[in-house]
Amino acid sequence: MPVTLRAGVRQGAMLSLAFGAVLFTGAVTGAWSGAPAEDRPPSSSDALAGRDLAGASLSRQQAERLVAEGGDPWAAYYSPGEYTDLTEGRYRGVGLSVRRSADGATTVDRVHPDGPARQAGIAAGDVLLGIDGKAADRLPVTEVVAGLRGETGTEVELTVRRPGAAPRELRLRRTELEARDVTAEQLRPGVVRVAVRGFTAGVAGQVADAVRGARGVLLDLRGNSGGLVDEAVATASLFLDGGPVASYQERGERRELTAARGGDTAVPLVVLVDGGTMSAAELLAGALQDRSRAVLVGARTFGKGTVQQPSRLADGAVLELTVGRYTTPSGRSPDGTGLTPDVPQPAGGDPDAATRLADTVLSGLGRGQRG
């Protein structure tokens, strides 16, 4: 674990979603997929600018100190194993995700079917009151995540309360789990809801399988903390026939991210977003919105519009550092502001109500297409 508080919090955020729903996986990074390139400049931050760290011989402590003091709020250090877990969709923890409710409570959002939390009887809707003796509602979500994560075999004490019941004290042992970043369900005949929780390796292919043959698609990006830019662009390519997805500036040079040709531009498409939709997920949603390919439904997105790039150190570890900000095809930057949905969800933030609203919008798109 990082040796400074800031580094520790940042690692928790890098492996999970910050300030919204906490994913089982999810790089909030917006990093490229594939092996980290050793010939790319590593950072645009003040302290790291101009320093090519690819191949550098740094101890973990040195690298973490550099991240903590480097002036790049999204920088992170990963051991070789941690980086593989991050990009391939594995993590070590107890198998639950949480969200911060409007009243400040930390509520269990999802439970991994094979994780220790499920085995202990924790269910979605339970309230997480405490973690290792600290009140969960007084901690930033990033610190809650960092507390749930940890090395395989280590333990964490949780205080959980089910609505209408007394609090329970539980001691759970962390284990390695495989994230399930793509889930699909049929809302009605021919209409599929595909929830994408993070862009790890292979996600675009899973989405392609899920939407094949559908007559209407509800792409649910709520709580999606981002991940590999290549996977987000490949997902956009499923619904676009070439053309721009995003662009970014790297050291004064403009670089374009472009969809592949041949995507399905006819199937009605609605994208669900919320305050936990971040980074590469915002890149995807912004591209589909700007190009009039999808209607965005839900709440304003998080507002992380920066792109990180990995540099491989001599020992195989990875430093992931910010190289620039991206803009959508129309030139918008979501950084700090987020994306505004075309159809805002009603006050109250009920996830089921937002899904029903999105399905209603999707029904209208389908009627318009038939007409």
How far apart, in whole angstroms, are the C-alpha atoms of residue 68 and residue 8? 9
Which residues, in sequence order, are CB contacts of 9 under 8 Å at separation 6+? 140, 142, 143, 146
Is residue 134 annotated as a catalytic residue, yes or no? no
Give the amino acid at 268: P
| Residue of 134, 279, 311, 363 marked active site | 279
Task: Give first-to-last CA distance, the chain, whole Å.
Answer: 58
CA-based R_g, the chain, Å: 20
Q: How far is CA 321 from CA 21, 41, 287, in A?
A: 24, 9, 24
How far apart, in whole angstroms, are the C-alpha atoms of residue 207 and residue 195? 9
Give the amino acid at 360: T
Three-state DSSP class for residue 355: helix
| Residue of 59, 304, 311, 363 marked active site | 304
Which helix or strand (DSSP H or E) is residue 369 part of? helix 351-370
Is residue 304 annotated as a catalytic residue, yes or no? yes
Read off the tokens for 330.
Answer: 């129309």
Q: Which residues are catalytic?
A: 279, 304
